[in-house]
Amino acid sequence: MKHLAIFVVAALAAAPALGQSDELIALRGMGSFHVGGRVADVSGRPIREAPLPDGKTQKVDPNGSFLIEQMYVQYFLPAKKHGKYPMVMWHGGGLTGVTYETTPDGREGWANLFLRKGWDVYVSDAVERGRSGFAEPELFKGEPVFATLGFAWDSYRIGAPGSFQSAKGKRVAYPGTQFPVDDYENLVRQLVPRWLTTDDAILRAYVAEIDRVGPCVLVVHSQSGTIAYRAALARPDKVKAIVDVEGTLRGDASTAAALKHIPIIVIYGDNVEKSEFFATQHATNLKMVDTARSVGGSVEILELPAMGLKGNSHFLMMEKNNAQIADIIEQWLVKKELTNNSQ
């Protein structure tokens, strides 16, 4: 790749008036690609007449060979590289790579913030999300799941279960929340349909991305925490660290031993104990800390409230203190000697 001097103002996100840095970002390159996918055949389905906007119809033949389960990846490469390895960002369920781009209230997301810190950044839309596209309905098992307006508020600890109301003035967030609640609808606008049966396909595409990008640091969220652990098992020589934002590590002594050379950190916000799901997940991850330690591995749990960073929900990369949390992650990566000027 040619090294181009590309200068952009607050790249990847909105204008400085929305609360971004006005410092120039210098890039040596940027682009996108698709990886993965497989050919699937459909036969025996009837040809149908599909209505057109002008009242006419068009014949649609749903039979044939289809390329499905491909994944879209976008990348940005800083002119001055600080991270030893590219940073590959994977989002959670019902979301897309927008998770790491602009925050709901228009500030810079982690893609920008880590790019400014000198990391090559790769952001993807998982299989069946965003620019990765859907497949013929018969080719995915089950049906897509759609989120209601209040789902993220109640389920992801912006407010207590049952505290969401359609009218903005009646919603009750947790005291001191760091989530930009006035712009909650902008989070909902990011939500997309998801299937509950595509984890294996998502894993295959993620592994294909790792193979293309090469040795890398995974930054993952929620659903992709479990998949990242499986991806590391598939490519233990290429995954150099996992930064897991409230995702589940599902492993045992044998898998922990296989990954003992890979540092893993799981980061939690507030009110975990008030959610049955996250309390259970947290307990599972604590067991993985002990399991990893027993075989010489390194899994750490970082509790932000214990560090004095309070009010965070499930969306650490979107919150008002997202830059401060990014700094903490950077410090951990330096400690693990994953930057070019590690001490």
Question: What pLDDT score does 137 carry?
Answer: 76
Count CA within 13 A, CB hemisphere, residue 166.
Answer: 1
Question: What pLDDT score does 48 carry?
Answer: 93
pLDDT per residue rounded down to tens, the chain (343 residues) = 444 444 443 333 333 334 466 789 999 999 999 999 999 999 999 999 999 999 999 999 999 999 999 999 999 999 999 999 999 999 999 999 999 999 999 999 999 999 999 999 999 999 999 999 888 778 888 999 999 999 999 999 999 999 999 999 999 999 999 999 999 999 999 999 999 999 999 999 999 999 999 999 999 999 999 999 999 999 999 999 999 999 999 999 999 999 999 999 999 999 999 999 999 999 999 999 999 999 999 999 999 999 999 999 999 999 999 999 999 999 999 999 999 974 4
Question: What pLDDT score does 5 carry?
Answer: 44
Helices (H) and strands (E) in the chain, counts: 8, 11
Question: What pLDDT score does 12 carry?
Answer: 39
- Token pair of 128, please? 């069946």
Q: What is the pTM of this model?
A: 0.92
Question: What pLDDT score does 14 carry?
Answer: 37
Strand, helix or coil at 136?
coil
d(Cα 78, Cα 141) in Å, to the nearest integer? 40
Q: List beta partners, residue 36.
A: 70
E strands in 154-262? 216-221, 239-245
Q: List beta partners, residue 210.
A: none
Question: What pLDDT score does 244 carry?
Answer: 98
Question: What pLDDT score does 20 carry?
Answer: 60
CATH architecture of 6-42+71-335: 3-Layer(aba) Sandwich (3.40)
- Comparing CA positions, the residue from 309, 239, 237 lying closest to residue 270 is 309
Domains of the chain, by residue range, sit at: 6-42+71-335
